[in-house]
Amino acid sequence: MADLDVLAHKAAGGDKRALGELCRELQHPIYRLALRMVSDPHDAEDATQEILVRLITNLGSFEGRSQFMTWAYTVATRQLLRTRKRLVESSVRGPAAFAAAVDAGMGPFYEDAVSEAEYQELCAEVRISCTYGMLLCLSRPVRVAYILGDLMGMSDRDGAEILEVTPAAFRQRLSRARRTMRRIIANRCGLVREENPCRCGRQITSGLERGILDRSTLKFAAHPRGDGGPIRADTIERAAEQLDLAAAMAEVYRSDPAFIAPRAVYEGLRRAAPDLL
């Protein structure tokens, strides 16, 4: 990856080529953050474009006192915390309701796939949709702390700096998120405990019946991705070995495919800021 701090300083000085390269590098990590916050690719595209416009129009305020990505994530989280809730985010009514929906959706393993490849794609869609849906059970401030701390592996110091809170407050939010996740996954998710009853293949039929899944449009399983791939058996085994359920859940999240920003994100940014790019 290019040195973003160098690119940022060049871009702030009027170098349009550096600005274009900076935006191309930024779009993917910012998009992944937005996707985990809003759990919908289209909403994440819109949020990413808004954040990138805000970043490039405020480059002059980057003083270099911290790494550029720390500053960029600070700008991004501010924007994500104050943006209006979209339909997907508003549809999740909290951890108890989400857990009840998971329990109600469990049925026999899906047997109507035309091939093993289609079955695996549907399972991947269920898994990613479910884990992203769990994030929406958390309030926004707690959710972003969980994403930064457990899913992205940031230190208390860096996470606190990004969220503009004390390290103690950041740890409190992270602890609250882990407690909520434990309540949802305990005795349910088979990805984190082999003895748990829920399997992605057991949620497919109800997902199709309720319109949560669409076999013709798999928004996560068919999403553009970088070097990552679907969850592997060894990742499930590593998660199952975790003594702490929250740590096991974080292991599953880290196995997510490396989603990249769709082409529409950068094209939309160029239309929004034609004089800059």
In a domain, 61, yes or no: yes
In a domain, 239, yes or no: yes
Q: Which residues face 225 on adjacent strands?
A: 259
Q: Give yes or no for residue 66 having a pLDDT over 90.
A: no
Conformation bin of residue 250: beta by default, left when phi > 0, alpha when psi is -120 to 50:
alpha
pLDDT score of 110: 96
Domain count, the chain: 1
Q: Give yes or no for residue 8 having a pLDDT over 90.
A: yes
Q: Give yes or no for residue 19 having a pLDDT over 70.
A: yes
Question: Tens digits of per-residue pLDDT, 86-113?
Answer: 999 999 999 999 999 999 999 999 999 9
In a domain, 149, yes or no: yes
Could you tell me the residue range of the domain that residue 226 belongs to? 4-272
Question: Tens digits of per-residue pLDDT, 172-198?
Answer: 999 999 999 989 988 899 888 888 999
Q: What percent of the chain has pLDDT over 90?
A: 69
In a domain, 122, yes or no: yes
Q: Rounded distance, CA 30 to CA 34, Å?
A: 6
- Tokens 């239309």, residue? 271
User: For the chain, what is the mean pLDDT?
Assistant: 90
Lowest mean pLDDT among 25-29, 149-153, 229-233: 229-233
Count, residues in the chain:
277
Q: Would you place residue 1 in the very low, low, confident or very high pLDDT band (cuts 50, 70, 90)?
A: low
Q: Would you place residue 153 in the very low, low, confident or very high pLDDT band (cuts 50, 70, 90)?
A: very high
The 10 Å Cβ neighbour count of residue 178 is 20
Q: Rounded distance, CA 197 to CA 164, Å?
A: 40
Q: Give yes or no for residue 208 having a pLDDT over 80.
A: yes
In a domain, 277, yes or no: no
Output Rg (C-alpha) for the chain, integer angstroms: 19
Global pTM value: 0.91
Question: String of b and e for 240-272 (b: at least 16 CB within 10 Å)?
Answer: bebeebbebbbbbbebbbebbbbeebbebbeee
DSSP string, 109-135: PP---SSHHHHHHHHHHHHHHHHHHHH
In a domain, 76, yes or no: yes
In a domain, 26, yes or no: yes
Q: Would you place residue 257 in the very low, low, confident or very high pLDDT band (cuts 50, 70, 90)?
A: confident
In a domain, 13, yes or no: yes
Question: Tens digits of per-residue pLDDT, 132-146?
Answer: 999 999 999 999 999
Orientation of helix 263-272 relative to helix 16-38, angle to 10°: 120
